[in-house]
């Protein structure tokens, strides 16, 4: 079974485009754009192995999400993208996270 990566971000076009850009990686993708979607995904998808939070969300929301995710699912790694590199760098950041999280051999299969 492929691990599931939950992508969280404000910009729908970025979150929706990442799975297409990174379809060569052996993971399944989910997306969320707000607290309610994140909580619903965490409650309904036990296969989530990590969460990547984008840099376009305000810092207070990102902090809240980290706290909520860590409380609800302490087994999940949470990765928060920097803001400075902008939304165009999200795919590269996510790819690095997936390769680091799931091993270079598995991620390149």
Q: What is the mean pLDDT of the chain?
A: 92
- Do 52 and 94 touch, CB atoms closer than 8 A? yes
Residue 79 forms beta bridges with which residues? Answer: 52
Which pLDDT does position 17 carry in this prediction? 93
13 phi-psi bin (left φ>0, alpha ψ -120 to 50, beta other): alpha
Domain boundaries, the chain: 4-87
**CATH number for the segment(s) 4-87:** 3.40.50.2300
- The mean per-residue pLDDT over the stretch 99-107 comes to 70
Which pLDDT does position 14 carry in this prediction? 87
The C-alpha atoms of residue 109 and residue 103 are separated, in whole angstroms, by 10
Residue 77 forms beta bridges with which residues? Answer: 50
Confidence class of residue 1 from pLDDT cuts 50, 70 and 90?
Answer: confident
- The mean per-residue pLDDT over the stretch 44-66 comes to 95
Is residue 106's pLDDT more than 80?
Answer: no
pTM of the model: 0.91
Confidence class of residue 104 from pLDDT cuts 50, 70 and 90?
Answer: low
Look up residue 3 and give its DSSP letter. Answer: -
């Amino acid at each position: 079974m492929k691990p599931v990566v939950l992508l969280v971000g404000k910009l729908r076009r970025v979150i929706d485009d990442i799975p297409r850009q990174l379809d060569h990686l052996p993971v399944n993708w989910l997306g969320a754009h707000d607290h309610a979607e994140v909580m619903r995904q965490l409650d309904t998808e036990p296969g989530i192995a990590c969460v990547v939070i984008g840099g376009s969300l305000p810092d207070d929301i990102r902090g809240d999400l980290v706290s909520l995710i860590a409380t609800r699912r302490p087994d999940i790694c949470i990765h928060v993208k920097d803001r400075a590199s902008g939304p165009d760098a999200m795919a590269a950041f996510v790819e690095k996270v997936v390769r680091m999280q799931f091993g270079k051999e598995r991620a390149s299969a």
